[in-house]
Amino acid sequence: EIVLTQSPGTLSLSPGERATLSCRASQSVSSTYLAWYQQKPGQAPRLLIYGASSRATGIPDRFSGSVSGTDFTLTISRLEPEDFAVYYCQQYGPSPMYTFGQGTKLEIK
Amino acid sequence: QVHLQESGPGLVKPSGTLSLTCAVSGDSISSGNWWTWVRQPPGKGLEWIGEIFHSGTTNYNPSLKSRVTISVDKSKSQFSLKLTSVTAADTAVYYCASSGIYALFHWGQGTLVTVSS
Protein backbone atom coordinates (compact mmCIF):
# COMPACT_ATOMS: atom_id res chain seq x y z
CA GLU A 1 0.00 0.00 0.00
CA ILE A 2 1.26 3.45 -0.91
CA VAL A 3 1.28 5.89 2.01
CA LEU A 4 0.92 9.62 1.42
CA THR A 5 2.49 11.89 4.03
CA GLN A 6 1.43 15.52 4.04
CA SER A 7 3.42 18.34 5.57
CA PRO A 8 3.17 20.48 7.48
CA GLY A 9 0.31 19.28 9.64
CA THR A 10 -0.74 22.87 10.21
CA LEU A 11 0.29 25.95 8.25
CA SER A 12 -0.34 29.41 9.68
CA LEU A 13 -0.30 32.21 7.14
CA SER A 14 -1.93 35.56 6.45
CA PRO A 15 -4.16 36.53 3.54
CA GLY A 16 -2.09 37.60 0.57
CA GLU A 17 0.78 35.26 1.43
CA ARG A 18 1.88 32.26 -0.60
CA ALA A 19 1.09 28.76 0.68
CA THR A 20 3.10 25.68 -0.18
CA LEU A 21 1.67 22.30 0.86
CA SER A 22 3.58 19.06 0.42
CA CYS A 23 2.51 15.47 -0.19
CA ARG A 24 5.17 12.77 -0.26
CA ALA A 25 4.48 9.25 -1.51
CA SER A 26 6.14 6.21 0.07
CA GLN A 27 6.87 4.86 -3.39
CA SER A 28 6.63 6.00 -6.98
CA VAL A 29 3.23 7.39 -7.97
CA SER A 30 2.30 8.41 -11.48
CA SER A 31 1.37 12.07 -11.62
CA THR A 32 -1.75 10.97 -13.50
CA TYR A 33 -3.05 9.47 -10.29
CA LEU A 34 -2.50 12.36 -7.85
CA ALA A 35 -5.23 14.79 -6.82
CA TRP A 36 -5.76 17.55 -4.25
CA TYR A 37 -8.95 18.45 -2.36
CA GLN A 38 -10.06 21.33 -0.17
CA GLN A 39 -12.43 20.74 2.73
CA LYS A 40 -14.10 23.41 4.82
CA PRO A 41 -15.82 22.65 8.15
CA GLY A 42 -19.14 20.91 7.70
CA GLN A 43 -18.67 20.58 3.94
CA ALA A 44 -17.74 17.80 1.57
CA PRO A 45 -14.28 17.85 0.04
CA ARG A 46 -13.96 19.76 -3.23
CA LEU A 47 -11.63 18.64 -6.01
CA LEU A 48 -9.00 21.28 -6.77
CA ILE A 49 -6.33 19.51 -8.82
CA TYR A 50 -6.22 16.21 -10.69
CA GLY A 51 -3.41 14.61 -12.65
CA ALA A 52 -1.03 16.43 -10.28
CA SER A 53 -1.36 19.77 -12.11
CA SER A 54 -4.73 20.11 -13.88
CA ARG A 55 -7.22 22.45 -12.23
CA ALA A 56 -10.76 21.19 -11.85
CA THR A 57 -13.61 23.19 -13.33
CA GLY A 58 -14.13 26.53 -11.61
CA ILE A 59 -10.93 26.44 -9.54
CA PRO A 60 -9.13 29.81 -9.50
CA ASP A 61 -5.72 29.97 -11.12
CA ARG A 62 -4.08 30.92 -7.83
CA PHE A 63 -4.19 27.17 -7.12
CA SER A 64 -1.50 25.13 -8.84
CA GLY A 65 -0.03 21.66 -8.51
CA SER A 66 3.41 20.33 -9.32
CA VAL A 67 5.50 17.21 -8.90
CA SER A 68 9.15 16.34 -8.40
CA GLY A 69 9.85 12.64 -8.10
CA THR A 70 7.66 11.31 -5.30
CA ASP A 71 7.03 14.81 -3.91
CA PHE A 72 3.83 16.57 -4.91
CA THR A 73 3.13 20.21 -4.11
CA LEU A 74 -0.01 22.32 -3.96
CA THR A 75 0.71 26.03 -4.17
CA ILE A 76 -1.74 28.82 -3.47
CA SER A 77 -0.11 31.92 -4.88
CA ARG A 78 -1.95 34.60 -2.88
CA LEU A 79 -4.20 33.47 -0.07
CA GLU A 80 -7.77 34.68 -0.01
CA PRO A 81 -9.84 34.51 3.21
CA GLU A 82 -11.91 31.65 1.76
CA ASP A 83 -8.79 29.50 1.20
CA PHE A 84 -8.32 28.69 4.88
CA ALA A 85 -9.37 25.06 5.14
CA VAL A 86 -8.00 21.52 5.31
CA TYR A 87 -6.27 20.17 2.20
CA TYR A 88 -5.91 16.51 1.30
CA CYS A 89 -3.83 14.82 -1.34
CA GLN A 90 -5.06 11.55 -2.85
CA GLN A 91 -3.56 8.91 -5.05
CA TYR A 92 -5.08 6.09 -7.05
CA GLY A 93 -3.60 2.59 -7.14
CA PRO A 94 -1.98 0.12 -7.12
CA SER A 95 -4.95 -2.13 -7.63
CA PRO A 96 -8.12 -0.12 -7.88
CA MET A 97 -7.94 1.84 -4.66
CA TYR A 98 -7.85 5.45 -3.55
CA THR A 99 -5.75 6.53 -0.57
CA PHE A 100 -5.60 9.95 1.06
CA GLY A 101 -2.97 11.84 2.96
CA GLN A 102 -3.73 12.81 6.54
CA GLY A 103 -4.40 16.43 5.61
CA THR A 104 -2.84 19.86 6.12
CA LYS A 105 -4.80 22.48 8.01
CA LEU A 106 -4.26 25.95 6.58
CA GLU A 107 -5.15 28.46 9.27
CA ILE A 108 -5.15 32.23 9.51
CA LYS A 109 -2.14 33.62 11.33
CA GLN B 1 -23.67 19.54 -13.19
CA VAL B 2 -23.74 16.22 -11.36
CA HIS B 3 -25.70 16.22 -8.12
CA LEU B 4 -25.36 13.47 -5.55
CA GLN B 5 -27.55 13.02 -2.49
CA GLU B 6 -27.03 10.48 0.27
CA SER B 7 -29.91 9.08 2.31
CA GLY B 8 -30.37 6.49 5.01
CA PRO B 9 -30.63 5.98 8.78
CA GLY B 10 -28.47 8.21 10.92
CA LEU B 11 -28.29 5.69 13.76
CA VAL B 12 -27.34 2.02 13.54
CA LYS B 13 -27.01 -0.44 16.40
CA PRO B 14 -23.71 -2.23 17.00
CA SER B 15 -23.43 -5.50 15.05
CA GLY B 16 -26.12 -4.24 12.70
CA THR B 17 -25.97 -3.29 9.04
CA LEU B 18 -25.41 0.23 7.78
CA SER B 19 -27.38 0.92 4.58
CA LEU B 20 -27.12 4.10 2.53
CA THR B 21 -28.30 5.15 -0.90
CA CYS B 22 -26.94 7.83 -3.21
CA ALA B 23 -29.28 9.41 -5.75
CA VAL B 24 -27.59 10.66 -8.90
CA SER B 25 -28.91 13.51 -11.03
CA GLY B 26 -27.43 15.69 -13.74
CA ASP B 27 -25.55 12.76 -15.27
CA SER B 28 -26.42 9.28 -16.41
CA ILE B 29 -25.44 6.59 -13.95
CA SER B 30 -24.51 4.63 -17.06
CA SER B 31 -21.90 7.19 -18.07
CA GLY B 32 -18.20 6.41 -17.92
CA ASN B 33 -17.91 7.40 -14.26
CA TRP B 34 -17.35 5.11 -11.35
CA TRP B 35 -19.63 5.68 -8.37
CA THR B 36 -17.82 5.82 -5.05
CA TRP B 37 -18.28 5.79 -1.29
CA VAL B 38 -15.88 7.59 1.06
CA ARG B 39 -16.17 8.04 4.81
CA GLN B 40 -14.73 10.41 7.40
CA PRO B 41 -14.83 9.69 11.15
CA PRO B 42 -15.49 12.80 13.22
CA GLY B 43 -12.38 14.98 13.33
CA LYS B 44 -10.36 12.58 11.19
CA GLY B 45 -9.30 12.08 7.59
CA LEU B 46 -10.86 10.50 4.52
CA GLU B 47 -11.14 6.77 3.85
CA TRP B 48 -12.15 5.29 0.50
CA ILE B 49 -14.69 2.48 0.92
CA GLY B 50 -15.23 1.29 -2.63
CA GLU B 51 -16.69 1.96 -6.05
CA ILE B 52 -19.03 0.52 -8.65
CA PHE B 53 -19.40 0.87 -12.42
CA HIS B 54 -22.81 0.79 -14.06
CA SER B 55 -22.05 -2.73 -15.29
CA GLY B 56 -21.95 -3.86 -11.67
CA THR B 57 -18.18 -4.22 -11.46
CA THR B 58 -16.98 -3.31 -7.99
CA ASN B 59 -13.72 -2.52 -6.23
CA TYR B 60 -13.42 -2.41 -2.46
CA ASN B 61 -10.95 -1.21 0.14
CA PRO B 62 -9.20 -4.42 1.28
CA SER B 63 -9.56 -3.34 4.92
CA LEU B 64 -13.37 -3.32 4.58
CA LYS B 65 -13.92 -5.82 1.79
CA SER B 66 -15.30 -8.60 3.98
CA ARG B 67 -18.11 -6.32 5.26
CA VAL B 68 -18.95 -4.10 2.28
CA THR B 69 -21.34 -4.47 -0.62
CA ILE B 70 -21.96 -1.72 -3.17
CA SER B 71 -24.75 -2.12 -5.69
CA VAL B 72 -26.31 -0.05 -8.45
CA ASP B 73 -29.93 0.41 -9.55
CA LYS B 74 -29.84 1.97 -13.00
CA SER B 75 -33.64 2.23 -13.21
CA LYS B 76 -33.65 4.53 -10.17
CA SER B 77 -30.34 6.25 -11.02
CA GLN B 78 -28.91 5.40 -7.64
CA PHE B 79 -26.27 3.28 -6.00
CA SER B 80 -26.10 1.87 -2.50
CA LEU B 81 -23.74 0.89 0.29
CA LYS B 82 -24.17 -1.88 2.82
CA LEU B 83 -21.70 -2.33 5.66
CA THR B 84 -22.29 -5.26 7.98
CA SER B 85 -21.25 -6.01 11.56
CA VAL B 86 -20.77 -2.35 12.39
CA THR B 87 -19.02 -1.09 15.52
CA ALA B 88 -18.44 2.36 16.98
CA ALA B 89 -15.38 2.61 14.73
CA ASP B 90 -17.74 2.81 11.76
CA THR B 91 -19.26 6.06 13.04
CA ALA B 92 -18.50 8.61 10.35
CA VAL B 93 -19.81 11.01 7.76
CA TYR B 94 -20.41 8.93 4.65
CA TYR B 95 -20.02 10.60 1.27
CA CYS B 96 -20.96 9.37 -2.16
CA ALA B 97 -18.97 10.70 -5.09
CA SER B 98 -18.38 10.25 -8.79
CA SER B 99 -14.92 9.36 -9.95
CA GLY B 100 -13.19 9.75 -13.26
CA ILE B 101 -9.62 10.28 -14.44
CA TYR B 102 -8.47 8.86 -11.07
CA ALA B 103 -10.03 11.62 -8.96
CA LEU B 104 -13.33 12.25 -7.20
CA PHE B 105 -14.93 15.04 -9.16
CA HIS B 106 -18.34 15.43 -7.60
CA TRP B 107 -19.41 14.79 -4.00
CA GLY B 108 -22.64 14.54 -2.11
CA GLN B 109 -23.08 16.67 0.99
CA GLY B 110 -22.46 13.68 3.24
CA THR B 111 -24.54 12.01 5.92
CA LEU B 112 -23.53 11.27 9.50
CA VAL B 113 -24.06 7.70 10.62
CA THR B 114 -23.64 6.97 14.30
CA VAL B 115 -23.22 3.43 15.59
CA SER B 116 -24.68 3.25 19.07
CA SER B 117 -27.13 1.22 21.10
> Would you list which residues of chain B are within 8 Å, Cβ to Cβ, of chain A?
36, 38, 45-48, 51, 59, 61-62, 95, 99, 101-110
Number of neighbouring beta carbons within 10 Å of residue B105: 18
pLDDT (tens digit, 9 = 90+) per residue, B32-70? 899 999 999 999 999 999 999 999 999 999 999 999 999
Instruction: Please answer yes or no on whether B48 and A100 come within 8 Å at the CB atom.
Output: yes
Supply the pLDDT for residue B32. Answer: 87
Amino acid occupying residue B60: Y
Supply the pLDDT for residue A94. Answer: 78
Number of neighbouring beta carbons within 10 Å of residue B103: 25
pLDDT (tens digit, 9 = 90+) per residue, B99-117? 988 999 999 999 999 999 9
Amino acid occupying residue B52: I
Selecting from B45, B51, B101 the residue whose C-beta is nearest the C-beta of A51 gives B101
Number of neighbouring beta carbons within 10 Å of residue A75: 14
List, for chain A, all residue ranges whose pLDDT scores fall below the cut of 50.
none
Closest CA of chain B from A22, distance in Å: 16
Closest CA of chain B from A92, distance in Å: 6
